[in-house]
Structure 1
Amino acid sequence: MMGFYRAERALRPVDGSIAWVVVGEDFSLHEEACAFLAGLRARGRSSNTERVYAGRVAVYLSWCEANGVDCTRPALLDLARFLRWLVAEPLPARSRDGSGVPRFRSEATANAVMTGVCEFLRFGARHGWVPAEVAASLTEPRYLAYLPSGFDPGEQGQFRNVRARMLKYSAAVEGPQWLSDEQIEQLRSAAVRGRDRLLVSLLACTGMRIGEALGLHRQDMHLLSNSAMLGCQVTGPHVHVRRRLDANGALAKSRFPRWIPVTEELVDAYTEYLHERAARVSGEADSEAVFVNLYAGRLGRPMTYVAAKDMFDRLARRVGFEARPHMLRHSAATRWIRSGIERDVVQRLLGHASASSLDVYLHADDDELRDAVTRVAAGREAGA
């Protein structure tokens, strides 16, 4: 059924940077969807965020086209049907998966798609091509009886009254997924290229977001014991994370620059990568980005989110377990907190704006859960 609209990557002619658009079967631009994506771009959202929202809006537009629904004037019942369809409709089979077992979206994924659709409709209401009553129907007033961690209810509890989305599944919220030190080492060993080993090591060592890593410039790598000659007062090897929009669409989520110390092992990995890079690309083809294409695409150009995802997918197939860039960020945060590092230090290392963002990392592992049960059982036996 699907195929009416799809998300496509485009290169902006002014500076060659990546932008995302939604096109129809004849490659004509969907005007409202492209305006919505341009609005995300204007607000400083990353290319990866733009890509995700482009895909979500394209799915919604295709469903509307197939079901005779005006995408700018859906009734609440239409959106409820769409939400149900998201989990009931089988996904296309993966080319590498010959099992023939159908795949379906989870309820959490369906909620995420609906979030993108609601943003699209609210954007349209602000610009006059979606009726205001449609946008108003997306939420309902709700009183927060139980406050989320870090939420300020106000002196009189005035902030407990919020507007909550009408349509969403009550999907279970899974905790962060992380990798053990052994699994991280397996990933490094599975990476046959110096660039890929460096990326795995950097994410595991610093807890950077993948967008921050792909946005690094060589001038951000201060890997000497003393960086005074670079105009930097920080001592010891470290890297700087700065918010800048690059041609590959990489963008640091945090609006505040920060520096993160790194280990000598990471310095060695970077040196190895520089030798590999010098043998593959040089001169005008090279760029200031730390991570660049060395084996596919335009050599020397900044590595993209898609290329990084493909790299991690390859490594995951080799090691036999799921491995995504953000899992390494969770791994670093979990390791720091379990080692007794103060929360304000971890917050600064991760670039979180709020300390409450660390709550998801305060989880017990399998051994701690089993130890709790075993110790209680042992106490009962001793008292018997």
Structure 2
Amino acid sequence: MDRFRPFLVRLPSGDRYWTVMDAAYRPVAAADEWLLHVRLGRDCAESTTEAYARSLALFLDWCTAIRQDWRETPYQFGRFVYWLQRYDPGVPAYAQTRIVRGARRVNAVLAAVREFFKHAVAVGLADKAVLDALFDLVEDYDLPAEVRGERPGLRLRSRPRHRLSEPQRVVDAATDEEVLALLKACRNARDRFIVLALWRIGNRRGELTGVRLEDVHFVPDASSLGCRVRGEHLHVRRRPNLNGAIAKSRRSRVVPVDWFVVQGYDQYMLERGACQQAQRCDFLLVNLFREPLGAPMRPKALNELLADLSRRAGLDRSLHPHQLRHSMATNVAAAGGTLDEIRELLGHAAITSSQVYLHPSPDRLRAAVERVELPRGRAGKELR
């Protein structure tokens, strides 16, 4: 079977996005138009188009396998789900029986394909009737109260028709011991500050690599900087960046920082100031030890840094930036942080995205039980 494949496109403007190529290395027009819209029209991260392109490549592979035009396939998505679970390009079709993709991966592919169809309907490439095959209208009674709001009466919402049941999500957070090992493995102030910022501020990698010097207000009183927010803090703003970094949320937010981060920042800025090329760059994080010197760091450079630090620290696994973000949120929850506080600190669009951090660990559950004292007086003596 001829296979479709994701492909990275570099535009003359410097922007990059991922598209889908066919077996003859020609871009699939409908997919390319949507992915370019996602990257530039919706101002999404390059990594988002990469994930979507990989999902669409699988979808188009399936369309080729069943010999149908992609516009006609929504009515057969049950078959697509079965195919996704078992399709392995390295195994003959008759032998594809074992599960090769879990429920979470399958659901991610389906979500990308549904977004593709929604765009195709909006621009007239597909009939709007296909959406009836992809979505059901359901009541919103099963949503959390924070999501439903206070408006009375029955309300309907669309729900994906094809979705596998996923196992309960367990947050894969870096432990404090692992983070301390990373800090000990750092050989310079910049790398220590990056680890501290990911761990104590909870920024996404695209947010941290997109921070400009003007966004850093690490002073008790920022009124002289034209800012009314009190205390040391960092502004997270969505803007186009030449290094491919982008904040996921369109809404700007302010994240408070503690003295530990400020101390790491001060040490890093002394190191940064010694690099003449860096003085001409307004990005916070810049290349200090590799060419081009003074250029803003790319988001994937943080993944490479943490992987290298994990090896140097002798950890059993290779950590990535999002695990340090999970660690920050988990620690805030363990310290008594509320759902709305976690949502604001992390910049989640939906409060349901923050709920996963409120699931207590086994140690916290045991401590809660042990805090309950036995009855006092005669009843307590009888129990003993």
TM-score category, normalised to shorter length: 0.7 to 0.9
Rounded to whole Å, the distance in 1 between the matches of 2:252 and 2:276 is: 30
Q: Is the contact between residue 235 and residue 254 of structure 2 (CA under 8 Å) also seen in structure 1?
A: yes
**In the TM superposition, what whole-angstrom CA distance separates every residue of 1:242-270 from its partner, at most 9, and x where no partner exists?**
12121223222333323323233323323
What amino acid sits opposite 1:59 in the alignment?
Answer: L
Which stretch of the first structure deviates more once superposed, 246-255 or 115-124?
246-255
Paired residue for 1:150, among 115, 135, 146? 146
Q: State the SS of the aligned residue for 1:20.
A: strand
Identical-residue share of aligned pairs (%): 32
What amino acid sits opposite 1:257 in the alignment?
Answer: S
Relative distance call for 1:175 and 1:279 in structure 2 (3 A) is same
Partner residue of 1:140? 136
Q: CA deviation at 1:8?
A: 2.5
Rounded to whole Å, the distance in 2 between the matches of 1:136 and 1:215 is: 40
Relative distance call for 1:104 and 1:299 in structure 2 (3 A) is farther
Matching of residue 118 in structure 1 with residue 114 in structure 2: yes
Relative distance call for 1:344 and 1:113 in structure 2 (3 A) is closer
Relative distance call for 1:382 and 1:148 in structure 2 (3 A) is farther
Q: Is the contact between residue 88 and residue 100 of structure 2 (CA under 8 Å) also seen in structure 1?
A: yes
Relative distance call for 1:33 and 1:301 in structure 2 (3 A) is farther
Paired residue for 2:299, among 284, 305, 317? 305
Q: Is the contact between residue 18 and residue 47 of structure 1 (CA under 8 Å) also seen in structure 2?
A: yes
Rounded to whole Å, the distance in 1 between the matches of 2:267 and 2:26 is: 46
Partner residue of 1:170? 165
Q: CA deviation at 1:121?
A: 1.5
Partner residue of 2:36? 38
Q: Is the contact between residue 243 and residue 256 of structure 1 (CA under 8 Å) also seen in structure 2?
A: yes
Relative distance call for 1:90 and 1:280 in structure 2 (3 A) is farther
Which stretch of the first structure deviates more once superposed, 342-351 or 209-218?
342-351
What amino acid sits opposite 1:287 in the alignment?
Answer: C
Q: State the SS of the aligned residue for 1:150.
A: helix
Structure 2 residues without counterparts, runs of 5 or longer = 91-97
Relative distance call for 1:154 and 1:370 in structure 2 (3 A) is closer
Paired residue for 2:245, among 250, 262, 282? 250
Matching of residue 289 in structure 1 with residue 289 in structure 2: no
Relative distance call for 1:173 and 1:238 in structure 2 (3 A) is same
Paired residue for 1:127, among 118, 123, 127? 123
Rounded to whole Å, the distance in 2 between the matches of 1:326 and 1:136 is: 36
Partner residue of 2:5? 6
What amino acid sits opposite 1:302 in the alignment?
Answer: P
Q: How does 1:20-39 map onto structure 2 within 5 Å? A: 20-39=18-37
Partner residue of 1:215? 210
When the two structures are superposed, what TM-score results if normalisation uses the length of structure 1?
0.82
Partner residue of 1:71? 70
What amino acid sits opposite 2:12 in the alignment?
Answer: P
Q: Is the contact between residue 91 and residue 105 of structure 1 (CA under 8 Å) also seen in structure 2?
A: no
What amino acid sits opposite 1:17 in the alignment?
Answer: D
Q: CA deviation at 1:213?
A: 0.8
Paired residue for 1:81, among 54, 79, 89? 79
Q: State the SS of the aligned residue for 2:173.
A: coil
Which stretch of the first structure deviates more once superposed, 240-249 or 368-377?
368-377
Relative distance call for 1:10 and 1:195 in structure 2 (3 A) is farther
Rounded to whole Å, the distance in 2 between the matches of 1:175 and 1:227 is: 39
Which stretch of the first structure deviates more once superposed, 173-182 or 30-39?
173-182
Rounded to whole Å, the distance in 1 between the matches of 2:149 and 2:259 is: 46
Rounded to whole Å, the distance in 1 between the matches of 2:273 and 2:83 is: 51
Q: How does 1:286-365 map onto structure 2 within 5 Å? A: 287-294=281-288, 298-317=292-311, 318-321=314-317, 323-341=319-337, 344-353=340-349, 357-365=353-361
Which stretch of the first structure deviates more once superposed, 126-135 or 211-220?
126-135
Rounded to whole Å, the distance in 1 between the matches of 2:125 and 2:349 is: 35
What amino acid sits opposite 2:105 in the alignment?
Answer: T
Q: CA deviation at 1:107?
A: 0.8
Matching of residue 182 in structure 1 with residue 177 in structure 2: yes
Matching of residue 263 in structure 1 with residue 263 in structure 2: no
Relative distance call for 1:265 and 1:155 in structure 2 (3 A) is closer
Rounded to whole Å, the distance in 1 between the matches of 2:110 and 2:177 is: 37
**What is the count of residue pairs matched by the alignment?**
370
Q: CA deviation at 1:115?
A: 0.6
Partner residue of 2:94? none
Deviating runs (4+, > 6 A) in structure 1? 373-382
Partner residue of 1:97? none
Q: State the SS of the aligned residue for 2:169.
A: coil
Rounded to whole Å, the distance in 2 between the matches of 1:377 and 1:263 is: 36
Structure 1 residues without counterparts, runs of 5 or longer = 93-101
